[in-house]
Chain A
């Protein structure tokens, strides 16, 4: 050890960069890489590299053909998929309709406790008329059903093996290499992929939980890709490096302030609107995100086909906020405040800093905010149990507008959904239900837009902003494309730049 200290660089063991290997820095350990059981974001984002699904979400978040070449809906409760031929699993066996049925039946079987079981509750049967055709029979029409078909297909002949999750076999562009839990996961190019062999030979996912360490590793050139885990404050630091290209672009993650509508104070829409008018979004975006976020007015980002453009968007107006609070019967008391609210956050640093800034804004209109931060499990448990007044959270990678039903329908109170504030509006319920039965996107869009307008007017949430997507890729690579859910799907097309290009200076975009 002492010798190492003296010898210095000789011991540091940093090998020259191998053009075929790309190292990704992960913030969390993917605990389970069986697509039927995986829950954590870390695993779900890696799975598209190892497994194919009937459909995949394209970079815009829309379902696109993958294993299914085409599909039709003979009736609103029946979906028929025609499979691509000649797709092989990593062990060489051909993927057929039987594998698709096996995978879905396995997840639907209550004894397997798949986290996808709930989402598949609408399916009554999976049929395979021939090896290249799969038919799903639904209980009732469900316009967003296609979103459920992006789950990885597992080989029926291996899926029941006890150690399947240890070394899973799929049909994706990369195959299993090595896994040291908590340390690293290595996937290798699958030469016989129906999409063609990936340009990279291997992708190494290194688990570096500590943010500072992760950023330093990227600056040192030991991590080639950071995606989903770069805080805005670190962008200037990473951009100092010539060997990294940092890219920011508008994101669709939606950050909001949630209200408990059963609370006596917050049950009054005037109070909620006052709070919305009191928050100075531009100030917080500037201070916390260094400008790397867009103000939001509704859950669905402008990129979404069902985004409602003209919804009430509560501009920063402290005077109006004070007037609304006066009207609601909350005059300023002798101590200078009107009332106090508790505001819960997790222990995540950005959430805590945001709460401080929001509390300042609310104090300016006479609302005293007691900020309380909790360890994630406790915080999330409280939110789901309705045990809060104000809280802030975000919705990540929402591309399916049916999420509105999941969050704002009166029947979606937890555990059925995520209507944690107990919002209930008969007209919103009606519109969201109707949108599920609609088969044409145009009619569906009208209903979804109307619902978003009502939700915004009722001020169920204070819509805050959509933080930008930020990723850093070593300048010697090209071809990475960020997916809205944070998936690493596009690594299959990433490649090392040719030598002549690599000689040029690393451009920061």
Chain B
């Protein structure tokens, strides 16, 4: 079996493990969706009736088996509160989150690669110092603080960008910047360190000795090898990006899966919580899989 095929197979138990954990965790936290749905005036009989109709009166193991059964048929159940299929509810919110996550990734790469390379090439000079201090600041700023600060500066004081919401490309700028900053900060350090490793290698000296221009040396010979660890970090950090999206979506009134997840937890909407977590963990797992696949493209040695 090829490396990729084996990794693909490994995805199944990973996702299943996450789902099992989430299923039992959401059912174990205190709070009753039935009481929230029927309101305070509901009688005991009404409550137990609804509990039975939703299958919540069954033993947890049986509920779990049903949940897995539904999953096998791509049925995540119905949201208690929207009273619609979970897939439809999430499907409506997913594009917004995907757009935000990829925009943040783009922001992070656009900042991190040039800055990281520049810092490595000008090691120990002012540019390098500034890049390092900047990345320390960037990684230290939590989203719930950075978001409002960017709003106050760019929207409130300068009036350049919308405060919140999702209308037009301009409304994507601040959320993507907020979400992408921490990742950019990590990637700056990673790119710099990785480039420094590569810059000392013999083959670069050889290339230079052959008269290849410095730009070509950096761009063609050094960067390609330096990218490998950077790609790994991007994959690993994608999970952080998704969890950061929950907070960023809240700050910017961005109608994505993060917003939905918070609502679902508050309302104890078990199927919707499970659905949101499934989607988020699937994204994470798939991105990591793609990272591995990308590896083999960048570095032929991994293919064996």
Q: Is A113 a contact partner of B46 (Cβ separation < 8 A)?
A: yes
A216 contacts which chain B residues (CB < 8 A)? 148, 151-152, 155-156, 163-164
Q: Does B146 contact A (CB under 8 A)?
A: no
User: Quick check: which of B11-19, B24-32, B58-66, B113-121 contacts chain A, the rest being far away?
Assistant: B24-32
Interface residues on chain B, size class = 35 or more
| Chain A residue at minimal CB-CB distance from B89 | A181
Partner pick for A210 among B89, B158, B251, CB 8 A cutoff: B251
Question: Which listed residue, A4, A37, A381, A417, touches B169 by the CB 8 Å rule?
Answer: A4
Do the beta carbons of B30 and A181 come within 8 Å of each other?
no
Instruction: Please report which residues of chain A, range 1-36, place their CB below 8 angstroms from some CB of chain B when the two chains form the complex.
Output: 1, 4-5, 8-9, 11-14, 28-29, 31-32
Chain A residues, Cβ within 8 Å of B152: 216
Give A95-129 as 1s and 0s: 1 = Cβ < 8 Å from B's Cβ atoms: 00000000000000011010111110100000000
Task: Indicate whether A75 reaches chain B with its CB closer than 8 angstroms.
Answer: no
In this assembly, does A188 line the interface, its C-beta being within 8 Å of a C-beta of chain B?
Answer: no
| A-side contacts of B31, CB under 8 Å | 377-378, 380-381
Q: State in angstroms the CA–CA spacing of A375 and B161 once bound together.
A: 34
Q: Number of A-B pairs whose CB atoms are under 8 Å?
A: 169
Query: In the complex, what's the smallest C-beta–C-beta distance from B35 to chain A, in angstroms?
Result: 7
From A28, A32, A219, A378, give the contact of B82 (CB < 8 A). A32
B49: shortest Cβ distance to chain A, in Å?
A: 6
- In the complex, A160 has a CB within 8 A of chain B: no
CB distance from B92 to the nearest CB of A (A): 6
Evaluate contact between A206 and B253: CB separation under 8 angstroms. yes
Q: Check B81–A113 contact: CB distance below 8 A.
A: no
Residues of B near A116 (CB, < 8 A) are: 39, 41
Taking the closest CB of chain B, its distance from the CB of A420, in whole angstroms, is 11
**Which chain A positions have C-beta within 8 A of B203?**
none
Chain A residues within an 8 Å CB radius of B288 = none
State in angstroms the CA–CA spacing of A32 and B263 once bound together: 13
In the assembled complex, the CB of A333 is this many whole angstroms from the nearest CB of chain B, namely 33
Bitwise, A154-195 to B at CB < 8 A (1) or not (0) is: 000000000001000000000000001111100000000000
Residues of B within 8 A of A303 (CB): none
Within the assembled complex, what's the spacing in Å between the Cα atoms of A101 and B163?
A: 46
CB distance B255 to A377 under 8 Å? no
Known: A13-B168, A117-B42, A384-B35. Is A32-B83 also a contact (CB below 8 A)? yes
> Closest Cβ of chain A: how far from B108's Cβ, in Å?
13
Whether A378 contacts B30 by the Cβ 8 Å rule is yes
Q: Please tell me if B227 contacts chain A, counting CB pairs below 8 Å.
A: no
Q: Are B39 and A11 in touch, CB under 8 angstroms?
A: no
Given A31-B81, A415-B47, A418-B40, A208 contacting B161 (CB threshold 8 A): no
Q: In the bound complex, do residue A8 and residue B160 qualify as a contact, i.e. CB atoms below 8 Å apart?
A: yes
Given A118-B39, A219-B156, A384-B35, A110 and B46 contact (CB-CB distance below 8 Å) = yes
